[in-house]
Structure 1
Amino acid sequence: MKYLLSIIMLSSFFNFAAAQTKDEAAVASAVEALRKAMVDADQAELDRLTATKLSYGHSSGKIEDKAAFIGSLLSGQSDFVSIDLSDQTIAVTGQTAVVRHTLNAKSNDGGKPGSVHLHIMLVWGRDGGKWKLVGRQAVKVPQQ
């Protein structure tokens, strides 16, 4: 009986781990789609990936809603030439995922070339089976 109980518990553990891994992979895919949409200034994809009540925080302290976030990318006010993400972690709890990574980007904001090096925290929520960005906060990486 103990043997059967052990097998059932072990099987449950692996099923839980696989479900978690599937969620993490889906969130990672959404993060990558967002990265690409930001570089491409793809309005339809940005709209699809972000929640209606998005709160998008910049390292300067500026906070944008969904319309302002997408609008600044479409207008070129915020123009990413490239975005590279590293050191990414994903923690899924129920219908919410917290993603942290380091962002290195080349920009051309308002026609001025530049670069940014930031730590980012993204909060994703599951909405109708799809992961949508609910919140983002960036902080400047301290100079060493």
Structure 2
Amino acid sequence: MSDSRTAPYAALVLRLVLGALFLAHAGLKLFVFTPAGTAGFFGSLGLPGWLAYVTIAWELVGGLALILGIWPRLVAIALIPVLVGAIVTVHGPAGFFFTNPKGGWEFLGLWIAGLFALALIGDGPMALKPTTARQAR
């Protein structure tokens, strides 16, 4: 049984943390690896280089949308393929533990679970554009 008084704040915490993680990963690709370097890395995996730019944009827009609360439940579901792609191409073959060389997929699995939980639990308070209409109290 959930506590109806605090569950919405759990959604808010999930939204903010998950959004910040996506912004941090986009920032890593922009400022540390650089977009061109990220495109080169994608190419080394056999992926088209342009997909790196799409991924960076997806992480930036998705992270901001989660933090601001713009259709958060839908955005959470839409961000899962980015993480599944990272598991399939890089982290899955490295094993489960994130401390393995090239990092495992445990962190990404937890991240996916958090996004799925947010999609199930709801938008939380302070959402600028909630996914569903708020009910009158």
Q: Which TM-score band applies after superposition, normalised by the shorter structure?
A: 0.3 to 0.5
Q: Which structure shows the bigger proportion of residues in helix conformation?
A: 2
Larger C-alpha radius of gyration, 1 or 2? Answer: 1
- Report the TM-score, using the length of structure 1 for normalisation: 0.32
